[in-house]
Chain A
Amino acid sequence: MSVLQKLMETVVQFMPDKAPDPLIHKHGYLGTPVSRVDGQRKVKGEARFTAEFEIENLAYAVPVCSTIAKGRIISIDAYDAERSPGVIAIVTAENAPKMKRPPLMDVRHMDKGFAASDLAVLQDDKISWDGQPVAVVVAETLEQAEHAASLVRVEYDEKAARVSFEDLKAEATVPSAVMGEDPELEIGNAQKAFAAAAFKVDNLYRTPHYNHNAIEPHAAIAAWDEDGRLTVFDSTQFVNGCKHALAGMFGLDGDDVRVIAPFVGGGFGGKAALWNHTALCAAAAKVANRPVKMALSREDVFRLIGGRTPSEQRVALGADKEGKFAAIIHTGVTATTTHAKFPEQFSLTPRHLYASRTMSVGQKVVNLDTVANTWMRAPGESIGTFALESAIDELAYAMKIDPVELRRLNEPERDPTKGTEFSSRHLVEAYRRGAEKFGWSGRPAEPCSQRDGKWLIGQGVATAYYPVFRFPAAVRLRIAADGSALVQAAANEMGMGTATVQIQHAADRLGLPLEMVSFRYGDSDLPDSPIIAGGSSQTGSIAAAVQVAVEKAHRELVKLAGNGSPLAGANVEIEARDGGLFLSGEGNKGETYASILKRAGRDFIEVEETSGMPFEVMKYSMASYGAQFCKARVNRESGEVRISRWLGSFDCGRILNPKTAVSQLRGGIVMGIGMALAEETLLDTRRGRIMNPSLAEYHVPVHLDVPHIEIIYNDIPDEHTPLGAHGVGEIGITGAAAAIANAIFHATGKRIRDLPITLGKLL
């Protein structure tokens, strides 16, 4: 951590808190299960996703991908491809426009956008991973482009590639930072405390390489106009980031690039950064001199878009006789590439969860010649909680203590490593409510004690944890003379219900009925700010900006209302309700927005505001928490695992929309079930080629794999966050795999520390 950062963390401790948002405790649309405002369009098939925009004179582009992991291109023979019917252009390093290398993510410069890999492909003959695009074929139709792509012959000079995580993990080194934090952290002498502890466990946990596999494959449509401006439809979680990263690559002004993405078909982190197909689509459009669409095939998605790194983590826990932790040691290795530089932050998880006398956490990273790894739902915490929460369970058995009780005993009063106050942490309450609802107390303590025919039954539990992030956001608000309001933000929708919850929010804050509020988003031409659908931050980030925008609009309206208005010189508070501004507690003394604007002869007022820096996130220890309870049935003969019951009890601040929030929490848990039991991207460790690049061979959970998932939540607002809310998008996957592994141990007595827990591991 830089000196400046440390200084900042100290300074914010003395900063006063912002006054809690008055909406936190108000009953309105927020807190009610409003159905999605875009639901009709989605169920009718009318919501247009990236590849579905109709553009005149559109050509189709298909990438040709490297079949070696390392080396260089000797030659590309495109003779047949060029002559194949319908082919317009073949783009290779020879004729591709110049592209600069894009930046990687830096939390301090989110506004500049970022790519997942800082390579600009098709700029030279170098091959850095198996699947790297080496050419792009552009043709009149998709069929013609696909066929012609199959005719391109590439000759390589192949070098030995470093691709096996297992073989190379010993070479891992300590990165300079992990998400801006020190990569290693010691409190006291953890090794000594561990050695002397009354109870201890010390094990290695492994997680494989995973892929997001959003059902919408990545796609882009790019078009250049005569003035050299670029418009891109892109399946991105970050329209402004995509815009700035592209502008940088093509040497354009940010204003000369427009990125449009109204609906994204799932992202889970896989569409947060710019990936090279988008730049290649723009490059192809330039060479072909017409609009081009590049909709990746499922196989292309595996080859061009990276997923989650594999990891190996050691967790050693020591406890004294009373069950208090004497030592937490959580270390390990992840993989990245020289062009992604992303050490997935699993080691941040143990820093905030338990009180312990000593602690030693840290992580190393090894560079492989693979596609760039990237964020995947709860990067860090999803795999970090698997290891840590499995270990806690193991320690509970070693101590013959209930695992819920062990966690309660070690609940910290302040952030265990930063020493900061928790802004709102009610994890023990989430456990209490969850345990009661799940019937935890009825569970036999001994493993292998429940059976139903050939099925062994067990119950497991684990903590879910995901930190709170917020980014400064800019929004534009228009209030029109017909009394309606329009909120505009360069926000992103990939299923979270972005528009729905922001409309609920603006309606409450403006005192308008839902139908009078609309929300425009998914377009980088809207106010520029780093609003990213990532880090479970988007809702809070936008909400903070909407709050200041509404306050500004209200001030302007009061001014506009003038001296003749009952609002003039009011010495009681003015509140927004009934479509306008009224004196608090004084019935209809006030005026509607429509009336103010009409009297002033205005069609509308419009304000633009940006929310402040997220100092609260530095001042307090802020996170979403949860307790995941599950019941597993394991077939004694086949090793088949069935999750037959799930209860997630969450503490995520105030729940803004129970309908959409529950869906997000469930969605995370479903992905956690996949992570625990089925998913794994298989790499040929000799050549570095992904062997299962399809949905037939990469197994995501299907309907029958998922039980009814019950969700309960504390719904206790956090006074220090916008709307009192914490994020709900990522926490669902955290703790899920550990809860399953713990339930499987309880059922079978077999401890599996190596995901996914496939049948063979249980036989």
Chain B
Amino acid sequence: MPSPNQTPKAVPIPPAGSALILLKINGVDRSLSIDPRTSLLDVLREHLSLTGPKKGCNQGACGACTVLMDGQRVLSCLSLAVQLEGREITTIEGIANGELHPLQAAFIEHDGFQCGYCTPGQICSAIGMFQEFQNGLPSAVTGDMAAATIEFSDTEIKERMSGNLCRCGAYVGICEAIHSAFDREVAK
């Protein structure tokens, strides 16, 4: 927000398009020249037409912009694109291999969304979340940290997904979709 108290004259103004970056997005190398202030989210949405990742808050509070970076979930609105040279980014557009990812199909079956705006973030987040779970990472609701296995329970899922807001309130459907897509793999 502009405020009358700011002293903007001293602020150095970087020229536009001054940084050249190379990103691997959904398996494709993309090189582009961007304003170094650009977030990964804005690179995706405004420069590469990958509008699957959504902007809900632009400050790390809603999860709508979640993408996978080297397989881990990250908030693309809080990631400066120029710092991501060489990283592999997967957006919702790159989640499926041909048809639908089982989780995408489960979202449709269990009506894990209404408006669909938070959905790409929920799906990317859930995929990253499940990987964390499979890797044995505990969460704030994990009772026994030393236990050999953690139960893939509703509470675990909800705690781990609580960074992804859904104002339409599709939480019940999202949780069901996550169970139906991943429960089998937990058992493995």
Contact = CB atoms under 8 A, between A and B. Distances in A.
Interface stretch (A244-252, A274-282, A601-609, A662-670): A662-670
A680 B116 CA distance: 25
Kindly name the residue among B117, B118, B161, B173 whose own CB sees the greatest number of chain A CB atoms within 10 A: B117
B100 A43 contact: yes
Kindly name the residue among B13, B49, B105, B109 whose own CB sees the greatest number of chain A CB atoms within 10 A: B13
Nearest to B46: A142
Interface in A232-277: 263-266, 268
Given A215-B165, A298-B59, A706 B171 contact: yes
Interface in B20-58: 35, 37-38, 42, 45-46, 49-58
A44 B54 contact: no
B8 A80 contact: yes
Contacts of B137: none
Interface residues of A, number: 80
B188 to A, nearest CB: 24
B70 interface: no
Contacts of B89: none
A140 B15 CA distance: 12
Interface residues of B, number: 73
Given A217-B55, A265-B116, A668 B35 contact: no
A46 B54 CA distance: 11
Given A43-B104, A694-B59, A708-B154, A215 B169 contact: no
B159 interface: yes
B116 A263 contact: yes
Contact of B113 (A42, A213, A706): A42
A701 interface: yes
Contacts of B154: 708
A215 B46 contact: no
B35 to A, nearest CB: 5
A754 interface: no
Nearest to B159: A704
Contacts of B38: 143
A42 B119 contact: yes
Kindly name the residue among B15, B57, B162, B164 whose own CB sees the greatest number of chain A CB atoms within 10 A: B57
Nearest to B51: A52
A696 to B, nearest CB: 4
A40 interface: yes
A694 B107 contact: no
A494 interface: yes
A663 to B, nearest CB: 5
A298 B56 contact: yes
Interface stretch (A144-152, A343-351, A511-519): A144-152
Interface string A144-174: 1001011111111000000000000000000
Kindly name the residue among B15, B62, B109 whose own CB sees the greatest number of chain A CB atoms within 10 A: B62
A46 B92 CA distance: 9
A142 B42 contact: yes
B2 A703 contact: no
A664 B141 CA distance: 29
Contact of A54 (B15, B49, B107, B111): B49
Nearest to B141: A704
Given A215-B62, A216-B56, A663-B114, A695 B16 contact: no
A45 B52 contact: yes
Nearest to A134: B2
Nearest to B93: A45
Contact of B52 (A46, A268, A671): A46
B115 interface: yes
B1 interface: yes
A215 B64 contact: yes
A65 interface: yes
Contacts of A264: 115
Kindly name the residue among A660, A663, A669 whose own CB sees the greatest number of chain B CB atoms within 10 A: A663
A145 B114 CA distance: 32
A706 B169 CA distance: 9
Interface string B132-159: 0000000001000000000000110111
A399 interface: no
A319 interface: no
B42 to A, nearest CB: 6
A644 to B, nearest CB: 11
B95 to A, nearest CB: 8
A659 B111 contact: yes
Contacts of A701: 169, 171
Contact of A85 (B15, B107, B162, B167): B15
Given A39-B107, A215-B64, A667-B114, A85 B57 contact: no
A717 interface: no
A64 interface: yes
A85 B16 contact: yes
A541 B146 CA distance: 58
B55 A51 contact: yes
A227 to B, nearest CB: 29
A150 B6 contact: yes
Interface string A656-694: 000110111011111100000000000000000000001
Contacts of A493: 115
A706 B172 contact: yes
B76 interface: no
Interface in A700-725: 700-704, 706, 708-709
B186 interface: no
A496 interface: yes
A450 interface: no
Contacts of B46: 141-142
Given A43-B119, A43-B123, A36 B169 contact: no
15 contacts: A39-B107, A40-B108, A43-B119, A44-B96, A44-B104, A48-B51, A67-B3, A147-B11, A151-B6, A155-B4, A265-B54, A493-B115, A667-B170, A702-B163, A703-B174
Given A85-B15, A297-B58, A667-B169, 18 more contacts: A41-B116, A42-B113, A44-B104, A45-B120, A54-B49, A141-B16, A149-B2, A151-B6, A155-B4, A215-B64, A215-B166, A215-B168, A263-B115, A265-B116, A494-B114, A670-B171, A703-B157, A704-B162
Interface of A: 35-36, 38-49, 51-52, 54, 64-65, 67, 80, 84-86, 140-144, 147, 149-156, 212-217, 263-266, 268, 295, 297-299, 493-497, 659-660, 662-664, 666-671, 694-696, 700-704, 706, 708-709
Complex A-B, nearest 10 residue pairs according to Cβ-Cβ distance, in ascending order: A45-B52, A670-B169, A495-B114, A265-B117, A42-B116, A495-B115, A667-B169, A45-B92, A52-B51, A39-B108
Interface of B: 1-4, 6, 8-9, 11, 13, 15-16, 35, 37-38, 42, 45-46, 49-62, 64, 91-93, 96, 100, 104-105, 107-109, 111, 113-120, 123, 141, 154-155, 157-159, 161-175
